[in-house]
Structure 1
Amino acid sequence: MSDRILGAVAVAVGAGMAWAAQGYAAEISYEPVGPRAFPLLLSAFMVAAGAWLVVRPGAAAASHAPADANADAAGVPGVTGAPANRWQHLKPLALALAAIAVYVTLFQWLGFPLATALMALPVGIAFGGTWRQSLAAGVGMGVVMYLMFDKLLDVILPTGLLAFIFGGR
Structure 2
Amino acid sequence: MSGAADRVLSILLLGLAAFIAVQASQLDVPFSYDPVGPKAFPMLLSGILALLSVILFFRPGQGGKWPRGALLLRLLGVLVLLGLYAWFFTLAGYLITTAITVAVLAWLFNSGPAKAVISGVLLSIGSYLLFTFALGITLPWGAWLTSLA
TM-score greater than 0.5 by the shorter chain: yes
The reply on whether 1:156 has 2:138 as its aligned counterpart is yes
Query: How far 1:17 sits from its partner (Å)?
Result: 1.5
* Alignment of structure 1 residues 2-151 onto 2, 5 Å: 2-26=5-29, 28-29=30-31, 32=34, 34-37=37-40, 39-40=42-43, 42-44=45-47, 46-47=49-50, 50=53, 53-54=56-57, 59-61=61-63, 63-64=64-65, 91-100=73-82, 102-104=84-86, 106-108=88-90, 110-126=92-108, 128-131=109-112, 132=115, 136=119, 138-139=120-121, 141-143=123-125, 145-151=127-133
Aligned structure 1 segments of 4 or more residues deviating by more than 6 angstroms: none
- Which of the pair is proportionally richer in helix? 2
| Per-residue Cα deviation, 1:6-39 (whole angstroms, up to 9, x for no partner) | 233112311331134223212x227547543453
Q: Which runs of 5+ in 2 are unaligned?
A: none
- Percent of aligned pairs with the same residue? 26
Query: How far 1:53 sits from its partner (Å)?
Result: 4.7
Distance 1:101 1:56 in 2: 30
Q: Name the amino acid aligned to 2:100.
A: L
In the superposition, relative to structure 1, how do residues 60 and 38 fare at CA in structure 2: closer, same or farther (>3 Å)? same
| Per-residue Cα deviation, 1:60-83 (whole angstroms, up to 9, x for no partner) | 32x14xxxxxxxxx998xxxxxxx
In the superposition, relative to structure 1, how do residues 107 and 21 fare at CA in structure 2: closer, same or farther (>3 Å)? closer
Q: Name the amino acid aligned to 1:112.
A: Y
- Give the root-mean-square deviation of aligned CA atoms: 4.2
Q: Which runs of 5+ in 1 are unaligned?
A: 65-73, 77-84, 164-169
| Per-residue Cα deviation, 1:117-150 (whole angstroms, up to 9, x for no partner) | 2112223443x342436863x4565345434543
Size of the alignment, in residue pairs?
137
SS in 2 for 1:24: coil
Distance 1:52 1:36 in 2: 24
